[in-house]
Amino acid sequence: MQHVSPIREPLVTGGKTYHDITEDVCRQVEAKPNARWAAALAVALVGLAIFIYSVYRTLWYGIGEWGLNKTVGWAWDITNFVWWVGIGHAGTLISAILLLFRQKWRTSINRAAEAMTIFAVICAAMFPVLHMGRPWLAYWVLPLPNTFGSLWVNFNSPLLWDVFAISTYFSVSLVFWYIGLIPDFATIRDRATGPIARRAYAVLSMGWTGSAKAWSRYETVSLILAGLATPLVLSVHTIVSMDFATSVIPGWHTTIFPPYFVAGAIFSGFAMVLTLMIITRKVFFLEDYITLEHVESMNKVIILTGSIVGIAYTTEFFIAWYSGVEYEQYAFINRAFGPYWWAYWSMMTCNVITPQLFWFRKIRRSLTATFIISIFVNIGMWFERFVIIVTSLHRDFLPSSWAMFSPTIIDIGVYVGTIGLFFTLFLLFCKFFPVVNMAEVKAILKSSSEVKHHHNATMHSTDKGLNTNRHHNE
């Protein structure tokens, strides 16, 4: 028997029925694109065009088009890579870990969060491939039998671990996302009027019948994939952090990086989910499905992970002082007070101070405040990666080789272009795929209705009791 708390607000508001859910979610797939969606896609396509041009310049003229130098061999590209991988973490966490913990508030946002994960990982993968200089030889990073003599991958390198971790993460996330879409594709297939749409969604739904056996297997596969994906949430950014932690560079050679990077990834990922979902609920009129309860729950996760990141920043400074290693101490003093001080304090402001505003319930439930803070968080997380990478490299052990890094217009173009690529993919997803998981929202509808009924009944009995007492006292 399931106990439903009468205190909690329903996760689906507006007195929706099963039919209403189908109509509301399918409307944006079946209707013609509205002007707001078309305008957003036009802006995203401009960003995509910038990306294509910047990639063309990079491939045609070489990595010299970027702002790298002999001292700072990693900078803008690896910063963007780690930033995009971090953004991709929230989708799997919402889908897998919250599914295993039976958190029902995930149902309205998991579909879009999973899509965000896949698109973010695609954007992240662009940067290592481009940095190879000869991306047509990218398959050399795989341990494939070959005829090139002694050419073989270095299994001791965390860069190779990255290849395995991110490709596995992408594969499992893609399967998880697609499996969840199958019942909803079948719903759209059965409603489709045009022959092309009917045929396309028939192929995508893979013959889904909705039988009891099909649903049983669907639930089983979802749990298995959630079990596989949960370790990946922790392992992927742990391995990304080892790109730095296994080196001997002051500022990188630290054991706090794995948990610090994982917390930061969830922090930035939830912020991006909030940014996207606040826009999506408004554009597609989904306010009854993506409610203030969902926004508040995600803001609580941001408070937790933001606090962990703040503690990590403080711990880094303490350990640098406690170590007694002058190179390590200088690396952190240089971060805070050196030529890149503005990046460090931007990071501290956006990542440590700003999220603490969510301790106030009014701000936590304000859509405007949440939207602004979520953008600040992702700005801060980008600066975090920039600070870790560039300030640790630009002043190394030899003062004679100290240098500054400045991005070129191509560096900026590739980064802005990946944002355009991301939003192009996300907008196309929102138009042609159901952005809310109809099947799972219908499963919690009964519980939401029971909560509302139970809550109303409780209030009625309380009022009745108060009236009785008042009559007795009189």
Q: Where are the domains of the chain?
A: 18-135+172-445
List Cβ<8 Å contacts ≥24 apart for 309-314.
Answer: 309/260, 309/263, 309/264, 309/267, 309/351, 309/352, 309/384, 310/351, 310/352, 312/256, 312/259, 312/260, 312/263, 312/264, 313/348, 313/351, 313/352
d(CA 407, CA 124): 18
Q: Poorest-confidence range of 46-50, 286-290, 357-361?
A: 286-290
Burial of 330 (C-beta count, 10 Å sphere; 0-12/13-18/19+): middle
Segments in 142-209 forming alpha helices (H): 158-191, 195-205
If you average pLDDT over residues 366-388, what whole number do you get? 92
d(CA 95, CA 103): 10
| pLDDT > 50? residue 474 | no
Name 281's Cβ contacts closer than 8 Å, sequence gap at least 6.
287, 289, 290
292 to each of 11, 108, 256, how far by Cα in Å? 9, 12, 35
| pLDDT > 60? residue 461 | no
Q: Tell me the pLDDT band of 6, cut-offs 50, 70 and 90.
A: low
d(CA 374, CA 277): 11
| pLDDT > 80? residue 437 | yes
Helix, strand, coil abundance in the chain, percent, nearest 5 = 75, 0, 25
Segments in 349-437 forming alpha helices (H): 361-364, 367-393, 409-432
HSE-up of residue 376 (Cα within 13 Å, Cβ side): 20
Candidates 394, 467, 468; CA nearest to 71 is 394
d(CA 101, CA 406): 45
CA angle 320, 316, 347 (to 5 degrees): 130
d(CA 59, CA 37): 32
Instruction: Note the pLDDT tens digit of each residue in 250-294.
Output: 888 888 999 999 999 889 988 998 998 888 888 888 888 888 888
Candidates 345, 342, 258; CA nearest to 308 is 258
Name 252's Cβ contacts closer than 8 Å, sequence gap at least 6.
244, 245, 388, 392
What mean pLDDT is reported for the chain? 85
The neighbour count for residue 418, using CB atoms within 10 Å, is 27
Q: Tell me the pLDDT band of 469, cut-offs 50, 70 and 90.
A: very low
Query: Tokens standing for 338?
Result: 């050196």
d(CA 232, CA 283): 32
| pLDDT > 70? residue 219 | yes
If you average pLDDT over residues 1-29, what whole number do you get? 74
Amino acid identity for residue 328 in this structure: E
d(CA 345, CA 336): 7
User: What is the reported pLDDT for 462?
Assistant: 39
Amino acid identity for residue 467 in this structure: N
If you average pLDDT over residues 136-148, what whole number do you get? 80
Candidates 49, 44, 69, 43; CA nearest to 413 is 49
Q: Tell me the pLDDT band of 422, cut-offs 50, 70 and 90.
A: very high
pTM above 0.85, yes or no: yes
| pLDDT > 80? residue 12 | no
User: What is the reported pLDDT for 384?
Assistant: 92
